[in-house]
Structure 1
Amino acid sequence: MQRKISEELYAEAKNYFPGGVSSPVRAFKSVKGAPLFIKKGNGSQIWDEDDNQFTDFCCSWGPLILGHNNDAIREVIVATVANGTSFGTPTRWENKLGKLILNNNRFIEKIRFVSSGTEAVMSAIRLARGVTGKDKILKFDGCYHGHVDSLLVNAGSGLVTFGVSSSAGIPEAFAKETLVAPLNDLDAVEATFKEHGNQIACVIIEPVPANNGLLLQHRSYLEGLRKLCTQYNVLLIFDEVISGFRVGFEGAAGYYDIQPDIITYGKIIGGGMPVGAYGANAEIMGNVAPDGGVYQAGTLSGNPVAMAAGFTAASQLLEEGFYANLEQTTQDFVAKIQSYCDNKGYEVHINTIGSIFWIAFSKDDIRRADQINPDSMEKFKILHAYLLDNGIYLGPSGYEVGFISSAHTTEELANAVDKICQGMDLVHQ
């Protein structure tokens, strides 16, 4: 495929933006070539500036569960923009989306809209600290929660360690307020609570860890976290920026039927527009300003264009059978690729939940970040390059997951299966 225009645009972009991009993974540093500059999307298809066409399994990193350029979402966006783009005031659309979500979600009683998943997590952490009067937080190695200072940390050298900053510009004192534990190890969590429980405000976890591979946890592990948090009076935060409205309308909380104390959302509830949210029961949310002393504000929070798009998207997700059908479609897609790889004897395992999948070049049951072999990313690099040349777009990193939307047709998925299987043959030559 010709990529001349994308390459020229990237060369120009490097004069304007760090690394030529507005978000690091877009720079294609983990794969081959210059990033593609996308100019159009429709259904499951995207087109780059060189007019190459791709079946898209990135879906804007997850939110486009209805595909690109959904007719109803586009029409309501255009109609809303005709009345203005932002007012910094309450709007009817904010009420409509809030009511729709709360009426169909057993796990939260009040919600606050923000402008991104990172902002939602930042606000949830502040809320947990404000409610408990405690400062420390416990996160898990392999879970990503946006670029919040206290969460942009890695594990140190012990089983459970104080955080070590994974970014320049974060004071060591901030990182030291964060404890980091391995996933899939309740004993480590309990030991941490016994030592630091009177200082820990909250535990935050992606109940479906999907930012560093798809590190699916057993239901019993998540239930164990819930019990430990209750026992030690620590709030449990589910970061559902990816899993929320993706594995079900009630997200992973509903999928596993586990009640967290606070939930963060993002991605899908904007219908493709920038949005995030956090919610909890009425008592906890009563601590948020102006009702309580935990301050959080945002000029663009509840923006009418994002709210209108989100309401229109969420309404479609509530159609009977939507999630069951999409999960079955995803399982069928994954099963065909897995069967091919198994028959060939390839060291490949594809994890999947809901409409999310992740290709791991290993036969191991990977549930922790330290079980991922960094060398396997070289195999993904070969696969990614082959698929790009053959009209299939995956996120440009082997640690990123793929998404299937309701817009992916049977024919498009069958073609993608063929291309991925051919790519596997190339990888394993």
Structure 2
Amino acid sequence: MAEPNNSSLPVNRSTSLLTDMYELTMLEAALRDGTAHREATFEVFARKLPNERRYGVVAGIPRVLEAVRDFYFTEEQLATLDFLSDETVEYLRNFRFSGQIDGFREGELYFPYSPILTVRGTFAECVLLETVVLSILNADSAVATAAARMVTAADGRPIMEMGSRRTHEYAAVTASRAAYLAGFDSTSNLEAAHRYGIPAAGTSAHAWTLLHVDEDGRPDEAGAFRSQIESLGVDTVLLVDTYDVAQGVRTAIDVAGTGLGGVRIDSGDLGSMTRRVRRQLDELGAYNTKVVVSSDLDEFSIAGLRGDPVDSFGVGTSVVTGSGSPTMGMVYKLVEVDGHPVAKRSRGKAMTGGTKRALRTYRSTGTAIEEIVVPFDAADPEVGDADARELTVPLMRDGEIVPDQPTLQESRDYLAGQLVTLPWEGLALSRDEPAITVRFVGFPETARE
């Protein structure tokens, strides 16, 4: 089996111009004043969680590592950088990241000030990576966090990702990946299915039903259903709300019989509608025909359907856009220079200087207690009777991706296991405080601002 391509770009495509101009102007100034080769540590973290979220999901780590590996400048690209000096262009001509990257594995939960990713090397090589690292982590983590909340709200019922038409064509592919990581069961996007091995799903749209009219131009819903069943089999799902839902259900069972796989409702008051449809199906003897719903669902509307006779969900816009939050607000900040902690002092933008790693503590029942952040080379802190687990793991060494990174399926399983470690109230959809706190241990006051 071919190695999966986790990037949103074709294989062997340079990622070096997926950046902002000021990364290169800073590089040029640093090469001139001699600071370019100072040893530096940059850290990715988020100061808060958006939209009343109580946890975040780390997603996109394999894509970040591949983007760093593929961050090099071609002659064609260099020719466009006419605002740079010859010295800087020559530096970029020979550029390959040769540093170290540590951080949380994909599928890990994070909270405000968790040290999600630590990038170590010279200032010059680390600063160039800011934009591409953040663009991947912010986008993928937003989708995965929204999707995880929807999976929790669905309470074991399957969810299909179907948001391709609501985002950029390549973002649709990586959004499908992030949603699957978080527990979605399938995707409508065939490129995502091909690239990542995600199960594909899909039947028909309203256009299919509207296409079928008789010779007088009158709707022929039965003809549309009959043709779909002949093509896809009786296990297919028929879209019954193009015209009248109750009539659509009757027609579906008349055509398919009581062994029909499912009916889909894509409009209206889904709570009352699904109850009526379930009752109608049962009255018709179609006890095993499933009820599938779509129509601008998010975690709140899915949770609102808990207890209603819904067998599965189709979710589009709200998951590919991160459920109304297209970014998780992660930042990439310089925290150490030549072994000395550095930190911004800007009002409202608190941070802690120094290279860090994190551990999470758990009760004997497996419930998470807190996250502890310590200096990178410090001994493990005392945690009493609690169990502690290292969160920061090696991801890249000397510019090479650490072998045996988890597969997408392994990360998906891992995340499912981590969600059940949260205190039960930590899964609430509308609470302001994080599910667990992050505590810093062993940092001098001068490192904290």
Shared fold (TM-score greater than 0.5)?
A: no
More helix by percentage? 1
Choose 1 or 2 for highest CA Rg. Answer: 2
Give the TM-score of the pair, scaled to structure 1: 0.30
